[in-house]
Amino acid sequence: MFSAIDVPPAWKALRPDQLHGLIMVVGAPDSGKSTFCRYLYSQIHANGRACAYLDGDPGQAFLGPPTTLSLAMGDLGQPSKVWRRFVATISPRGNMLTMLTAVSRLARRGWRQNAEVILYDTDGLIDPQQGGAYYKFALIELLAPSTICFLSIENELQPLLSYFQRQNRSAVYHFRAAPAVQPRSAEMRRQYRAAQLSAYFATARPIEINWREMPIWPAPRFFPNQLLALTDRNGFCLSLAVLLEHQAETKQLRLFAPFSSTELIAALHLSRLALDLQTFQTQPVPHENPTV
C-alpha cells in the first residue's frame, strides 16, 4: 500500500505493538496527516490488533461521503463494519459542537466493539483565527487520547504542542510534514467532494417517505435539492438523500437515495446544503422561503 511513497524514518520509529487506546493525529491541510494515518493504521492492522479508523474530515472524507464522519473496523479496503454520523456540513467552522458529539459517539462505538486501538484522523482546521486551535484543544480534552501525533508544516501547532507536551495524560509525538506532500487548492478539494458524492449517488433511485409521524431534525423546513440523512434509532446515518419533491398536504417526500430499506429509517436529519445532481457540487440553501 505504501510502496509508492517514501516513508520518513521518524514514522517507522513508532512501534505498532506498543500503541493502544485512542491515537489522535492533528495537522493542518497539506501536512500529510491522512497519509501518515493510513500508513500507521496499516502497521497496526498488520500487527493483528483489533483496530478502528475514525475518518474525521467531513469535507475530504474517504471512508464515506462528504458531510459524514465514519468509523471503520478491520481492513480499510474491505472494512468488516462501518458506522457513520451525519454532521450536515463540509467544514467544522460554525459546527464544532456537532463535530464534537459525532466524534465522541463514533469513538464510543469503537470501544463497544472491543477495538484495542482507534486511530482518529482529524480534520485540518487548526487556524486560531477561525477557532481551530480551541476546537482541537476541546477534542483532546473530551477524548483524552492515549497518544497525540502532531504533524506541522511550520510552527502552526506550537501552542497545542507546547501545552500537551507538558501534560502527563498523553504520549506526544511531533513530526514535520513530509516534503513529498503536494498541496491541494480549494478548487481541487471542491472537485474531490463532487467526485465522492457522484460515486456515492451512482446507484441511487427515487424513494418515497411519509413523514407524518417521523421525527425531523432540526425542523420540517424543506428546500429544493436539500441534502439530508436517513438515520437509524441510534442516530447513525443509514444513507444520504436529496429532496426531489415535497407534498405538504400529504406529508409525502420524494427522495433520491442509494438506499431502499425504508422500514429501518427512524428519523430524518436535514442540512442547510443543496446538492446539484448534475455537477454534485454543494451550496448553502437560502435563508428564506422554505416549504413546511
What tens digit of pLDDT does each residue of 257-266 get? 999 899 999 9
Summarize pLDDT for 191-244 with one digit per residue, the tens.
999 999 999 999 999 999 999 889 999 999 999 999 999 999 999 999 999 999
In the chain, what are the domain boundaries?
Answer: 9-176, 187-284
Query: Looking at the predicted structure, is the pLDDT value of residue 4 above 70?
Result: no
Mean pLDDT of 10-36: 92
Q: Give the start-end residues of each E strand in the chain.
A: 21-27, 51-56, 68-73, 81-86, 117-122, 147-152, 171-176, 205-210, 216-217, 226-231, 237-247, 252-257, 267-275, 282-284
Joined grid coordinates for residue 126: 487548526
Give φ, ψ of 280 to 5 degrees.
60, 30
Mean pLDDT of 42-47: 93
pLDDT of residue 260: 87
Query: Looking at the predicted structure, is the pLDDT value of residue 101 above 50?
Result: yes
pLDDT above 90 coverage of the chain, percent: 85
pLDDT of residue 288: 54
pLDDT of residue 291: 60
Terminal Cα distance for the chain, rounded: 49
pLDDT of residue 218: 95
- The pTM of the full predicted model, rounded to 2 decimals, is 0.94
Q: Kindly indicate the confidence band of residue 3, based on its pLDDT and cuts at 50, 70 and 90.
A: very low
CATH of span 9-176: 3.40.50.300
Joined grid coordinates for residue 137: 484543544
| Spacing of C-alpha 146 from chain mean position | 21
pLDDT of residue 1: 46
From the CB of residue 83, how many other CB atoms can be counted at a distance below 10 Å? 21
Rounded-to-integer distance, Cα 118 and Cα 51, Å: 6
**DSSP summary character for residue 262:** G
Of 3.50.30.10, 2.40.30.330, 3.40.50.880, 3.30.750.210, the CATH number of 187-284 is 2.40.30.330
